[in-house]
Amino acid sequence: MANKKKEKLTPTQQEYQELAQRIQPRRPVLKNCIRAFIAGGVLCLIGQAVQEMFVHWVGFTEKTAADPTVAVMILISVILTSLGVYDKLAQWSGAGTAVPVTGFANSMASAAIEHRSEGIVLGIGGQMFKIAGPVIVFGTVAAFIVGILTWVFQGGGGS
């Protein structure tokens, strides 16, 4: 704990904080990093396999196969979430499943499943977008800013 925060605590609170730090189990950081790396890598490997299937079996180019690949990965994530498998995988791997698009789909599907008893609009729609809303807003604002900066640094609007 930072020294300034420690100064505001009473002696009893400081003693409690020191005791809590001593008995708190150490985090297995290396093990958690390896698990996240493995899970994230496997998800990316599955995504690459799906993309290769679109390229070789359906006749898409690598560029045109990207959108349906993302859609299939989202579908897989939602199905695994509804079966309770994705959450167990996420508990085991930590951030390895949270970072890819599948983690975002999982968070939205989990909220929808959890609040379905409250109705479609207020339950599923409202609760699902409490989680997704900030991500969507940040993504939209970031894309707007990058677009403006690209436009400015590439010389404006005319040729």
Q: Which two tokens stand for residue 87?
A: 């959450």
pLDDT at 145: 96
User: Residues 95-108: pLDDT tens digits?
Assistant: 888 777 888 788 77
Cite the DSSP H helix spans in the chain: 3-7, 11-23, 29-53, 66-82, 85-93, 95-98, 101-114, 126-153
The pTM assigned to this predicted structure is 0.67
CB atoms within 10 A of CB 39: 21
pLDDT at 101: 83
Overall average pLDDT of the 15-32 stretch: 86
Closest by Cα among 89, 44, 93 to 69 = 44
Q: Which of the pair, 11 or 122, is modelled with greater confidence?
A: 11
DSSP, collapsed to helix, strand or coil, labels residue 76 as helix
- Is the per-residue pLDDT at 42 higher than 80? yes
Where does the pLDDT of residue 158 fall: very low under 50, low under 70, confident under 90, or very high at 90 and above? low
The closest alpha carbon to 104, from 92, 86, 119, 116, belongs to 86
Q: Residue 112 is encoded by which pair of tokens?
A: 């929808």
Asked if the model's pLDDT at residue 7 lies above 70, the reply is no
DSSP output for 105-141: HHHHHHHHHHTGGG-IIIIIIHHHHHHHHHHHHHHHH
Give me the pLDDT at residue 6, please.
58
